[in-house]
Structure 1
Amino acid sequence: MMRLRHRLNAGDTVLGTFYKTPHPMILEILAMAGFDTVVIDAEHAPFGRAEIDTAILTGRALGLDMVVRLPDDRPATILQVMDAGAAGLLIPHVNTAGQARAILSAMRYGAGGRGFAGTTRAAGYGKRPLHEHLGADRGDVALICQIEDPEGAENAADIASVEGVDGLFVGRADLAVGSGKDDFFDPEIAQATARILGTPGAATGLYCAAHEDLAAHHAAGARLFVVGSDHTAILRGAPVADWQGSLSDPK
Protein backbone atom coordinates (compact mmCIF):
# COMPACT_ATOMS: atom_id res chain seq x y z
CA MET A 1 0.00 0.00 0.00
CA MET A 2 0.88 3.68 0.00
CA ARG A 3 2.18 3.61 -3.55
CA LEU A 4 0.72 6.93 -4.63
CA ARG A 5 3.50 9.26 -3.49
CA HIS A 6 6.15 7.10 -5.09
CA ARG A 7 4.20 6.88 -8.34
CA LEU A 8 3.76 10.66 -8.49
CA ASN A 9 7.45 11.25 -7.85
CA ALA A 10 8.36 8.65 -10.47
CA GLY A 11 6.31 10.48 -13.12
CA ASP A 12 3.70 7.74 -13.51
CA THR A 13 0.24 8.56 -14.81
CA VAL A 14 -2.38 8.02 -12.11
CA LEU A 15 -6.12 7.80 -12.77
CA GLY A 16 -8.67 8.38 -10.03
CA THR A 17 -12.15 9.62 -9.31
CA PHE A 18 -13.97 11.52 -6.57
CA TYR A 19 -15.91 9.55 -3.96
CA LYS A 20 -18.91 11.53 -2.67
CA THR A 21 -21.34 8.92 -1.33
CA PRO A 22 -20.19 7.56 2.04
CA HIS A 23 -21.04 3.88 1.63
CA PRO A 24 -18.49 1.03 1.41
CA MET A 25 -20.32 -0.62 -1.48
CA ILE A 26 -19.59 2.38 -3.70
CA LEU A 27 -15.87 2.01 -2.95
CA GLU A 28 -16.07 -1.69 -3.73
CA ILE A 29 -17.51 -0.89 -7.17
CA LEU A 30 -14.89 1.82 -7.82
CA ALA A 31 -12.13 -0.65 -6.96
CA MET A 32 -13.62 -3.18 -9.40
CA ALA A 33 -13.67 -0.45 -12.07
CA GLY A 34 -9.88 -0.33 -11.93
CA PHE A 35 -9.03 3.14 -10.61
CA ASP A 36 -5.52 3.68 -9.23
CA THR A 37 -6.75 6.01 -6.52
CA VAL A 38 -9.98 7.35 -5.07
CA VAL A 39 -10.33 10.84 -3.60
CA ILE A 40 -12.66 11.15 -0.63
CA ASP A 41 -14.32 14.53 -1.09
CA ALA A 42 -14.51 15.68 2.52
CA GLU A 43 -14.60 19.29 1.30
CA HIS A 44 -17.89 19.16 -0.58
CA ALA A 45 -19.59 15.87 0.38
CA PRO A 46 -21.01 14.64 3.74
CA PHE A 47 -17.91 13.02 5.21
CA GLY A 48 -17.25 13.42 8.92
CA ARG A 49 -14.38 11.86 10.79
CA ALA A 50 -16.11 8.47 11.16
CA GLU A 51 -17.06 8.31 7.47
CA ILE A 52 -13.51 9.21 6.42
CA ASP A 53 -12.10 6.53 8.71
CA THR A 54 -14.45 3.87 7.32
CA ALA A 55 -13.67 4.90 3.75
CA ILE A 56 -9.91 4.67 4.30
CA LEU A 57 -10.27 1.29 6.02
CA THR A 58 -12.41 -0.03 3.17
CA GLY A 59 -10.18 1.39 0.45
CA ARG A 60 -7.02 -0.05 1.96
CA ALA A 61 -8.68 -3.46 2.21
CA LEU A 62 -9.60 -3.20 -1.48
CA GLY A 63 -6.06 -2.22 -2.51
CA LEU A 64 -6.91 1.41 -3.32
CA ASP A 65 -4.65 4.34 -2.51
CA MET A 66 -7.08 6.60 -0.65
CA VAL A 67 -6.59 10.35 -0.91
CA VAL A 68 -8.64 12.76 1.20
CA ARG A 69 -9.60 16.20 -0.05
CA LEU A 70 -9.75 18.02 3.26
CA PRO A 71 -12.17 20.86 4.05
CA ASP A 72 -9.30 23.02 5.36
CA ASP A 73 -5.60 22.99 6.21
CA ARG A 74 -5.90 23.12 10.01
CA PRO A 75 -3.33 20.94 11.83
CA ALA A 76 -6.10 19.10 13.72
CA THR A 77 -7.81 18.14 10.45
CA ILE A 78 -4.52 16.97 8.94
CA LEU A 79 -3.66 14.95 12.07
CA GLN A 80 -6.90 12.98 12.00
CA VAL A 81 -6.55 11.99 8.36
CA MET A 82 -2.87 11.09 8.76
CA ASP A 83 -3.67 8.88 11.77
CA ALA A 84 -6.43 7.15 9.78
CA GLY A 85 -3.85 5.97 7.23
CA ALA A 86 -4.58 8.07 4.14
CA ALA A 87 -2.25 7.63 1.18
CA GLY A 88 -2.47 11.30 0.29
CA LEU A 89 -3.86 14.67 1.28
CA LEU A 90 -5.40 17.04 -1.27
CA ILE A 91 -5.44 20.45 0.41
CA PRO A 92 -7.73 23.14 -1.05
CA HIS A 93 -6.81 26.75 -1.69
CA VAL A 94 -3.04 26.59 -1.28
CA ASN A 95 -1.82 30.01 -2.36
CA THR A 96 1.76 30.46 -1.14
CA ALA A 97 4.94 28.52 -0.50
CA GLY A 98 4.71 29.53 3.17
CA GLN A 99 1.29 27.92 3.45
CA ALA A 100 2.65 24.73 1.87
CA ARG A 101 5.52 24.65 4.39
CA ALA A 102 3.04 25.06 7.27
CA ILE A 103 1.00 22.12 5.95
CA LEU A 104 4.12 19.98 5.74
CA SER A 105 4.99 20.87 9.32
CA ALA A 106 1.54 19.72 10.43
CA MET A 107 2.12 16.39 8.63
CA ARG A 108 5.40 15.68 10.41
CA TYR A 109 6.30 14.69 13.94
CA GLY A 110 8.50 16.94 16.02
CA ALA A 111 8.42 20.29 17.75
CA GLY A 112 5.49 22.34 16.52
CA GLY A 113 4.29 19.49 14.32
CA ARG A 114 1.95 16.54 14.45
CA GLY A 115 1.06 14.99 17.80
CA PHE A 116 2.13 11.37 18.25
CA ALA A 117 -0.16 8.42 18.93
CA GLY A 118 1.15 4.90 18.47
CA THR A 119 -2.19 3.07 18.46
CA THR A 120 -3.57 4.47 15.21
CA ARG A 121 -4.10 2.64 11.91
CA ALA A 122 -1.13 4.52 10.45
CA ALA A 123 1.08 3.18 13.25
CA GLY A 124 -0.22 -0.39 12.98
CA TYR A 125 -2.30 -0.07 16.15
CA GLY A 126 0.80 -0.22 18.31
CA LYS A 127 2.53 -3.09 16.49
CA ARG A 128 4.90 -0.76 14.63
CA PRO A 129 7.93 0.08 16.81
CA LEU A 130 8.14 3.72 17.90
CA HIS A 131 11.51 4.36 16.22
CA GLU A 132 10.26 2.80 12.99
CA HIS A 133 7.09 4.88 12.90
CA LEU A 134 8.93 8.08 13.74
CA GLY A 135 11.51 7.29 11.08
CA ALA A 136 8.85 6.78 8.45
CA ASP A 137 7.11 10.02 9.55
CA ARG A 138 4.95 11.16 6.58
CA GLY A 139 7.27 9.54 4.06
CA ASP A 140 4.57 7.48 2.33
CA VAL A 141 1.82 10.12 2.36
CA ALA A 142 1.52 12.37 -0.68
CA LEU A 143 0.90 16.09 -0.28
CA ILE A 144 -1.04 17.51 -3.21
CA CYS A 145 -1.73 21.24 -3.12
CA GLN A 146 -4.87 22.41 -4.89
CA ILE A 147 -4.24 25.50 -6.99
CA GLU A 148 -7.62 27.17 -7.43
CA ASP A 149 -7.17 30.89 -6.77
CA PRO A 150 -5.46 33.56 -8.89
CA GLU A 151 -2.86 34.02 -6.12
CA GLY A 152 -2.10 30.30 -6.06
CA ALA A 153 -1.83 30.21 -9.85
CA GLU A 154 0.64 33.09 -9.72
CA ASN A 155 2.72 31.29 -7.07
CA ALA A 156 2.46 27.77 -8.50
CA ALA A 157 6.18 27.45 -9.26
CA ASP A 158 7.14 28.59 -5.76
CA ILE A 159 4.72 26.12 -4.18
CA ALA A 160 6.02 23.26 -6.35
CA SER A 161 9.60 24.10 -5.33
CA VAL A 162 8.90 23.47 -1.61
CA GLU A 163 10.61 20.23 -0.64
CA GLY A 164 7.93 17.73 0.30
CA VAL A 165 5.21 19.01 -2.01
CA ASP A 166 4.46 16.07 -4.30
CA GLY A 167 1.78 17.51 -6.54
CA LEU A 168 -0.16 20.51 -7.76
CA PHE A 169 -3.82 19.95 -8.58
CA VAL A 170 -5.61 22.57 -10.66
CA GLY A 171 -9.12 23.44 -9.50
CA ARG A 172 -10.44 25.01 -12.69
CA ALA A 173 -13.94 25.78 -11.41
CA ASP A 174 -12.79 27.86 -8.44
CA LEU A 175 -9.99 29.37 -10.51
CA ALA A 176 -12.57 30.49 -13.06
CA VAL A 177 -14.92 31.90 -10.42
CA GLY A 178 -12.05 33.67 -8.65
CA SER A 179 -11.00 35.18 -11.97
CA GLY A 180 -14.48 36.52 -12.74
CA LYS A 181 -15.30 33.78 -15.26
CA ASP A 182 -18.38 31.56 -15.39
CA ASP A 183 -16.87 28.71 -17.41
CA PHE A 184 -13.84 26.64 -16.46
CA PHE A 185 -13.25 25.98 -20.17
CA ASP A 186 -12.74 29.74 -20.70
CA PRO A 187 -9.63 30.34 -22.88
CA GLU A 188 -7.87 32.34 -20.14
CA ILE A 189 -8.48 29.58 -17.62
CA ALA A 190 -7.32 26.98 -20.14
CA GLN A 191 -4.11 28.94 -20.67
CA ALA A 192 -3.49 29.26 -16.91
CA THR A 193 -4.23 25.56 -16.45
CA ALA A 194 -1.73 24.52 -19.12
CA ARG A 195 0.93 26.75 -17.52
CA ILE A 196 0.38 25.19 -14.08
CA LEU A 197 0.37 21.66 -15.51
CA GLY A 198 3.79 22.38 -17.00
CA THR A 199 5.25 23.51 -13.67
CA PRO A 200 8.50 21.68 -12.85
CA GLY A 201 9.34 20.36 -9.40
CA ALA A 202 6.14 18.42 -8.64
CA ALA A 203 3.65 16.16 -10.34
CA THR A 204 0.65 18.04 -11.69
CA GLY A 205 -2.95 17.10 -12.30
CA LEU A 206 -6.54 18.21 -12.39
CA TYR A 207 -10.17 17.23 -12.19
CA CYS A 208 -11.72 16.40 -15.56
CA ALA A 209 -15.34 15.94 -16.52
CA ALA A 210 -16.28 12.39 -17.44
CA HIS A 211 -16.71 13.30 -21.12
CA GLU A 212 -13.48 15.30 -21.40
CA ASP A 213 -10.53 14.36 -23.62
CA LEU A 214 -7.46 14.02 -21.38
CA ALA A 215 -4.86 14.08 -24.15
CA ALA A 216 -4.19 17.83 -24.20
CA HIS A 217 -3.76 17.96 -20.43
CA HIS A 218 -1.42 14.97 -20.56
CA ALA A 219 0.61 16.68 -23.26
CA ALA A 220 0.79 19.82 -21.09
CA GLY A 221 2.35 17.78 -18.28
CA ALA A 222 -0.53 16.39 -16.21
CA ARG A 223 0.04 12.98 -14.62
CA LEU A 224 -2.74 12.87 -12.01
CA PHE A 225 -6.26 12.74 -13.42
CA VAL A 226 -9.33 12.70 -11.18
CA VAL A 227 -12.17 12.01 -13.59
CA GLY A 228 -15.78 12.47 -12.60
CA SER A 229 -17.21 10.98 -9.44
CA ASP A 230 -19.52 8.25 -8.25
CA HIS A 231 -22.35 10.76 -8.73
CA THR A 232 -21.51 11.44 -12.38
CA ALA A 233 -21.10 7.71 -13.06
CA ILE A 234 -24.60 7.05 -11.74
CA LEU A 235 -26.11 9.89 -13.75
CA ARG A 236 -24.33 8.84 -16.95
CA GLY A 237 -25.44 5.25 -16.41
CA ALA A 238 -29.09 6.20 -16.06
CA PRO A 239 -30.20 7.69 -19.43
CA VAL A 240 -33.69 8.52 -18.25
CA ALA A 241 -34.38 10.85 -21.19
CA ASP A 242 -33.65 8.01 -23.64
CA TRP A 243 -35.99 5.66 -21.82
CA GLN A 244 -38.72 8.29 -21.64
CA GLY A 245 -38.29 8.89 -25.36
CA SER A 246 -38.68 5.22 -26.17
CA LEU A 247 -41.82 4.97 -24.05
CA SER A 248 -43.44 7.93 -25.81
CA ASP A 249 -42.51 6.67 -29.29
CA PRO A 250 -45.70 5.38 -30.96
CA LYS A 251 -43.66 2.74 -32.74
Structure 2
Amino acid sequence: MRSNKLKQALKEGGTVICVGPGVPSPELVEFLGHLGFDCIFIDAEHGVIGVERAQEMVRAADAVGIGSLTRVPKNDPAVILGYLETGTGGILVPHVNTADEVRQIMQAVKYSPLGIRGAHSGTRAANYGVTQSGAEYFDQANRETMVAAMIEEVAALENLNEILQVPGLDLCLIGPGDLAMSMGYPGQPDHPEVQAQVDLAVHKICAAGVAAGTVAADGEGVRRLFERGFQLALVSALRLLVVGARQLLAQARTEKSVTPGSP
Protein backbone atom coordinates (compact mmCIF):
# COMPACT_ATOMS: atom_id res chain seq x y z
CA MET A 1 0.00 0.00 0.00
CA ARG A 2 1.17 3.52 -0.79
CA SER A 3 1.81 6.08 1.92
CA ASN A 4 -0.85 8.80 2.10
CA LYS A 5 0.86 12.13 1.42
CA LEU A 6 -2.44 14.01 1.57
CA LYS A 7 -3.32 12.72 5.03
CA GLN A 8 0.19 13.40 6.26
CA ALA A 9 0.19 16.97 4.93
CA LEU A 10 -3.08 17.76 6.70
CA LYS A 11 -1.94 16.07 9.90
CA GLU A 12 1.17 18.26 9.92
CA GLY A 13 -0.94 21.41 9.55
CA GLY A 14 -0.17 21.99 5.88
CA THR A 15 -2.48 23.39 3.23
CA VAL A 16 -3.48 21.57 0.05
CA ILE A 17 -5.28 22.49 -3.14
CA CYS A 18 -7.52 19.71 -4.41
CA VAL A 19 -9.10 19.81 -7.85
CA GLY A 20 -12.23 18.12 -9.11
CA PRO A 21 -11.96 17.14 -12.79
CA GLY A 22 -15.75 17.26 -13.17
CA VAL A 23 -15.67 14.48 -15.78
CA PRO A 24 -14.68 10.79 -15.50
CA SER A 25 -11.35 11.18 -17.28
CA PRO A 26 -8.06 9.57 -16.13
CA GLU A 27 -6.26 11.61 -18.77
CA LEU A 28 -7.53 14.85 -17.26
CA VAL A 29 -6.42 13.62 -13.83
CA GLU A 30 -2.90 13.14 -15.19
CA PHE A 31 -2.99 16.57 -16.82
CA LEU A 32 -4.08 18.27 -13.59
CA GLY A 33 -1.43 16.40 -11.64
CA HIS A 34 1.29 17.60 -13.98
CA LEU A 35 0.02 21.16 -13.47
CA GLY A 36 0.87 20.88 -9.78
CA PHE A 37 -2.37 20.30 -7.86
CA ASP A 38 -1.97 18.41 -4.60
CA CYS A 39 -4.85 15.98 -4.95
CA ILE A 40 -7.74 14.87 -7.12
CA PHE A 41 -11.34 14.98 -5.93
CA ILE A 42 -13.31 12.10 -7.44
CA ASP A 43 -17.03 12.80 -7.13
CA ALA A 44 -19.16 9.66 -7.23
CA GLU A 45 -22.11 11.38 -5.54
CA HIS A 46 -22.91 13.65 -8.47
CA GLY A 47 -22.38 12.63 -12.08
CA VAL A 48 -21.68 9.21 -13.57
CA ILE A 49 -18.43 8.01 -11.98
CA GLY A 50 -18.74 4.37 -10.92
CA VAL A 51 -16.22 2.17 -9.14
CA GLU A 52 -14.40 0.99 -12.29
CA ARG A 53 -13.90 4.51 -13.64
CA ALA A 54 -12.95 5.79 -10.20
CA GLN A 55 -10.21 3.17 -10.04
CA GLU A 56 -8.75 4.39 -13.33
CA MET A 57 -8.77 7.95 -12.01
CA VAL A 58 -7.06 6.89 -8.77
CA ARG A 59 -4.47 5.01 -10.82
CA ALA A 60 -3.82 8.16 -12.86
CA ALA A 61 -3.40 10.21 -9.68
CA ASP A 62 -0.93 7.67 -8.33
CA ALA A 63 0.99 7.77 -11.61
CA VAL A 64 1.65 11.51 -11.28
CA GLY A 65 2.29 11.36 -7.55
CA ILE A 66 -0.71 13.25 -6.19
CA GLY A 67 -3.33 12.28 -3.62
CA SER A 68 -6.91 11.21 -4.20
CA LEU A 69 -10.11 11.76 -2.23
CA THR A 70 -13.32 10.04 -3.32
CA ARG A 71 -16.79 11.25 -2.41
CA VAL A 72 -19.04 8.20 -2.32
CA PRO A 73 -22.76 8.32 -3.14
CA LYS A 74 -23.97 7.48 0.36
CA ASN A 75 -23.06 6.19 3.81
CA ASP A 76 -23.38 2.49 3.02
CA PRO A 77 -20.70 -0.10 3.91
CA ALA A 78 -21.05 -2.01 0.63
CA VAL A 79 -20.81 1.17 -1.43
CA ILE A 80 -17.87 2.49 0.58
CA LEU A 81 -16.02 -0.84 0.25
CA GLY A 82 -16.15 -0.75 -3.54
CA TYR A 83 -14.52 2.69 -3.69
CA LEU A 84 -11.99 1.83 -0.98
CA GLU A 85 -10.69 -1.05 -3.06
CA THR A 86 -9.81 1.31 -5.92
CA GLY A 87 -6.87 2.41 -3.78
CA THR A 88 -8.18 5.91 -3.12
CA GLY A 89 -6.41 7.82 -0.39
CA GLY A 90 -9.59 8.79 1.38
CA ILE A 91 -13.35 8.38 1.58
CA LEU A 92 -15.61 11.43 1.85
CA VAL A 93 -19.23 10.77 2.82
CA PRO A 94 -21.93 13.34 1.98
CA HIS A 95 -24.66 14.67 4.29
CA VAL A 96 -23.18 13.54 7.59
CA ASN A 97 -25.36 14.95 10.36
CA THR A 98 -24.64 12.97 13.54
CA ALA A 99 -21.82 11.37 15.48
CA ASP A 100 -23.44 7.96 14.97
CA GLU A 101 -23.18 8.44 11.21
CA VAL A 102 -19.46 9.16 11.58
CA ARG A 103 -19.09 5.97 13.61
CA GLN A 104 -20.82 4.07 10.80
CA ILE A 105 -18.25 5.46 8.35
CA MET A 106 -15.41 4.38 10.63
CA GLN A 107 -16.83 0.88 10.82
CA ALA A 108 -17.00 0.69 7.02
CA VAL A 109 -13.52 2.10 6.37
CA LYS A 110 -11.50 0.38 9.08
CA TYR A 111 -10.47 -3.25 9.33
CA SER A 112 -10.84 -5.15 12.60
CA PRO A 113 -10.34 -4.35 15.42
CA LEU A 114 -11.31 -0.77 14.51
CA GLY A 115 -14.12 -1.64 12.11
CA ILE A 116 -15.89 -4.30 10.08
CA ARG A 117 -14.42 -3.73 6.60
CA GLY A 118 -14.30 -7.01 4.70
CA ALA A 119 -10.79 -8.49 4.68
CA HIS A 120 -9.20 -8.94 1.25
CA SER A 121 -5.53 -8.33 0.51
CA GLY A 122 -5.64 -9.03 -3.23
CA THR A 123 -7.14 -5.73 -4.42
CA ARG A 124 -5.48 -2.76 -6.06
CA ALA A 125 -5.56 -0.94 -2.72
CA ALA A 126 -3.32 -3.71 -1.32
CA ASN A 127 -1.02 -3.80 -4.38
CA TYR A 128 -2.71 -7.11 -5.22
CA GLY A 129 -1.04 -8.80 -2.26
CA VAL A 130 2.39 -8.64 -3.91
CA THR A 131 4.33 -6.17 -1.76
CA GLN A 132 3.28 -7.00 1.80
CA SER A 133 1.46 -9.56 3.87
CA GLY A 134 -2.25 -9.29 4.55
CA ALA A 135 -1.62 -8.44 8.19
CA GLU A 136 0.81 -5.67 7.21
CA TYR A 137 -1.66 -4.25 4.69
CA PHE A 138 -4.63 -4.28 7.08
CA ASP A 139 -2.61 -2.42 9.70
CA GLN A 140 -1.31 0.14 7.21
CA ALA A 141 -4.74 0.69 5.66
CA ASN A 142 -6.18 1.50 9.08
CA ARG A 143 -3.44 4.09 9.57
CA GLU A 144 -3.24 5.59 6.08
CA THR A 145 -6.81 5.78 4.75
CA MET A 146 -8.43 9.18 5.30
CA VAL A 147 -11.92 9.44 6.74
CA ALA A 148 -13.79 12.61 5.79
CA ALA A 149 -17.32 13.89 6.36
CA MET A 150 -19.34 16.49 4.49
CA ILE A 151 -20.86 19.11 6.80
CA GLU A 152 -23.65 20.58 4.70
CA GLU A 153 -26.89 20.77 6.66
CA VAL A 154 -28.18 22.70 9.66
CA ALA A 155 -28.47 19.41 11.57
CA ALA A 156 -24.74 18.82 11.10
CA LEU A 157 -23.94 22.25 12.53
CA GLU A 158 -26.15 21.56 15.53
CA ASN A 159 -24.36 18.26 16.17
CA LEU A 160 -20.88 19.38 15.18
CA ASN A 161 -19.34 19.19 18.66
CA GLU A 162 -20.41 15.55 19.00
CA ILE A 163 -19.30 14.75 15.44
CA LEU A 164 -15.83 16.09 16.13
CA GLN A 165 -15.44 13.90 19.21
CA VAL A 166 -15.48 10.68 17.16
CA PRO A 167 -11.91 9.31 17.07
CA GLY A 168 -10.33 8.89 13.65
CA LEU A 169 -12.09 11.68 11.78
CA ASP A 170 -9.43 13.34 9.61
CA LEU A 171 -11.31 15.98 7.61
CA CYS A 172 -14.59 17.89 7.65
CA LEU A 173 -15.43 19.39 4.28
CA ILE A 174 -18.08 22.09 4.48
CA GLY A 175 -20.49 22.19 1.55
CA PRO A 176 -21.75 25.78 1.34
CA GLY A 177 -24.19 25.07 -1.48
CA ASP A 178 -26.23 22.47 0.37
CA LEU A 179 -25.77 24.34 3.64
CA ALA A 180 -27.30 27.44 2.07
CA MET A 181 -30.19 25.31 0.83
CA SER A 182 -30.67 23.83 4.30
CA MET A 183 -30.67 27.31 5.86
CA GLY A 184 -33.31 28.62 3.47
CA TYR A 185 -30.99 30.49 1.11
CA PRO A 186 -31.01 28.32 -2.04
CA GLY A 187 -28.34 29.30 -4.54
CA GLN A 188 -26.74 31.76 -2.10
CA PRO A 189 -23.65 30.06 -0.60
CA ASP A 190 -22.04 33.47 -0.05
CA HIS A 191 -24.99 34.84 1.94
CA PRO A 192 -23.69 36.52 5.13
CA GLU A 193 -25.78 34.22 7.33
CA VAL A 194 -24.36 31.14 5.62
CA GLN A 195 -20.77 32.35 5.79
CA ALA A 196 -21.21 33.26 9.46
CA GLN A 197 -22.12 29.64 10.15
CA VAL A 198 -19.17 28.48 8.05
CA ASP A 199 -16.84 30.61 10.19
CA LEU A 200 -18.26 29.15 13.40
CA ALA A 201 -17.90 25.64 12.01
CA VAL A 202 -14.30 26.01 10.87
CA HIS A 203 -13.37 27.42 14.29
CA LYS A 204 -14.84 24.35 16.02
CA ILE A 205 -13.26 21.95 13.54
CA CYS A 206 -9.79 23.42 13.90
CA ALA A 207 -10.08 23.56 17.69
CA ALA A 208 -10.85 19.83 17.69
CA GLY A 209 -7.65 19.05 15.78
CA VAL A 210 -9.50 18.02 12.63
CA ALA A 211 -8.65 19.46 9.21
CA ALA A 212 -11.26 21.72 7.60
CA GLY A 213 -11.94 22.07 3.89
CA THR A 214 -14.38 23.74 1.54
CA VAL A 215 -14.73 24.99 -2.02
CA ALA A 216 -13.12 28.01 -3.70
CA ALA A 217 -13.82 29.66 -7.03
CA ASP A 218 -10.35 30.99 -7.84
CA GLY A 219 -6.85 31.60 -6.52
CA GLU A 220 -7.87 34.59 -4.43
CA GLY A 221 -10.64 32.51 -2.91
CA VAL A 222 -8.15 29.77 -2.04
CA ARG A 223 -5.90 32.30 -0.33
CA ARG A 224 -8.79 33.66 1.73
CA LEU A 225 -9.81 30.16 2.81
CA PHE A 226 -6.34 29.44 4.12
CA GLU A 227 -6.40 32.73 6.02
CA ARG A 228 -9.71 31.67 7.64
CA GLY A 229 -8.17 28.45 8.92
CA PHE A 230 -9.09 25.98 6.22
CA GLN A 231 -6.39 23.49 5.26
CA LEU A 232 -7.98 22.06 2.12
CA ALA A 233 -9.35 24.12 -0.75
CA LEU A 234 -11.38 22.38 -3.44
CA VAL A 235 -11.51 23.93 -6.90
CA SER A 236 -13.26 22.89 -10.10
CA ALA A 237 -11.32 22.12 -13.27
CA LEU A 238 -14.41 22.84 -15.34
CA ARG A 239 -14.76 26.26 -13.75
CA LEU A 240 -11.12 26.99 -14.57
CA LEU A 241 -11.86 26.01 -18.17
CA VAL A 242 -14.97 28.20 -18.27
CA VAL A 243 -13.11 31.25 -16.94
CA GLY A 244 -10.16 30.79 -19.28
CA ALA A 245 -12.32 30.11 -22.33
CA ARG A 246 -14.59 33.10 -21.72
CA GLN A 247 -11.59 35.36 -21.23
CA LEU A 248 -10.04 34.18 -24.49
CA LEU A 249 -13.28 34.58 -26.43
CA ALA A 250 -13.92 38.04 -24.98
CA GLN A 251 -10.43 39.18 -25.94
CA ALA A 252 -10.67 37.66 -29.40
CA ARG A 253 -14.09 39.11 -30.20
CA THR A 254 -13.60 42.71 -29.21
CA GLU A 255 -14.60 45.48 -31.58
CA LYS A 256 -10.96 45.91 -32.51
CA SER A 257 -10.67 42.31 -33.71
CA VAL A 258 -9.78 41.89 -37.35
CA THR A 259 -12.81 40.81 -39.37
CA PRO A 260 -12.53 37.87 -41.77
CA GLY A 261 -11.33 38.89 -45.20
CA SER A 262 -9.85 42.24 -44.13
CA PRO A 263 -6.26 43.03 -45.16
Q: Same fold (TM over 0.5)?
A: yes
Contact in 1 for aligned 2:225/2:233 (Cα 8 Å): no
Give the alignment partner of residue 20 of structure 2, picking from 18, 21, 40: 18
The aligned counterpart of 2:102 is: 100
Give the alignment partner of residue 161 of structure 1, picking from 153, 160, 165: 165
1:244 and 2:253 are equivalent in the alignment: yes
The aligned counterpart of 2:192 is: 187
RCO higher in structure (CA 8 A, sep ≥6): 1
Contact in 1 for aligned 2:107/2:116 (Cα 8 Å): yes
Structure 1 unaligned spans of 5+: none
The aligned counterpart of 1:30 is: 32
Distance 1:91 1:236, change over 3 A: same
Distance 1:15 1:142, change over 3 A: same
User: Post-superposition shift, 1:238?
Assistant: 0.9
Q: Which moved more, 1:33-42 or 1:19-28?
A: 19-28
Equivalent-residue separation in structure 1 for 2:176 and 2:160 (angstroms): 14
Q: TM-score, normalised by structure 2?
A: 0.89
Contact in 1 for aligned 2:38/2:67 (Cα 8 Å): yes
Give 3-state SS (helix, strand or coil) of 1:238's partner. helix
Equivalent-residue separation in structure 2 for 1:247 and 1:52 (angstroms): 46
Give the alignment partner of residue 141 of structure 1, picking from 139, 145, 149: 145
Equivalent-residue separation in structure 1 for 2:116 and 2:90 (angstroms): 18
The aligned counterpart of 1:177 is: 181
The aligned counterpart of 2:237 is: 230
The aligned counterpart of 2:134 is: 130
Equivalent-residue separation in structure 2 for 1:131 and 1:115 (angstroms): 13
1:151 and 2:159 are equivalent in the alignment: no
For 2:76, give the aligned amino acid: R
The structure that has the greater radius of gyration is: 2
Equivalent-residue separation in structure 1 for 2:256 and 2:69 (angstroms): 42
The root-mean-square deviation of aligned C-alpha atoms, in Å, is 1.9
1:230-250 Cα distance to aligned partner (Å, 9 max, x none): 211221221234433357777
For 1:51, give the aligned amino acid: R
For 1:213, give the aligned amino acid: G
Give the alignment partner of residue 222 of structure 2, picking from 176, 200, 214: 214
Report the count of equivalent residues. 250
Runs of 4+ in 1 over 6 A off after TM superposition: 247-251
Give 3-state SS (helix, strand or coil) of 1:44's partner. coil
Give the alignment partner of residue 42 of structure 2, picking from 37, 40, 43: 40
User: Post-superposition shift, 1:157?
Assistant: 2.4
Give 3-state SS (helix, strand or coil) of 1:46's partner. coil
For 1:197, give the aligned amino acid: V
Q: For residues 26-105 of structure 1, what are the structure 2 equivalents within 5 Å?
A: 26-105=28-107
Q: Which moved more, 1:26-35 or 1:217-226?
A: 217-226
Contact in 2 for aligned 1:197/1:217 (Cα 8 Å): no
Equivalent-residue separation in structure 2 for 1:166 and 1:221 (angstroms): 15
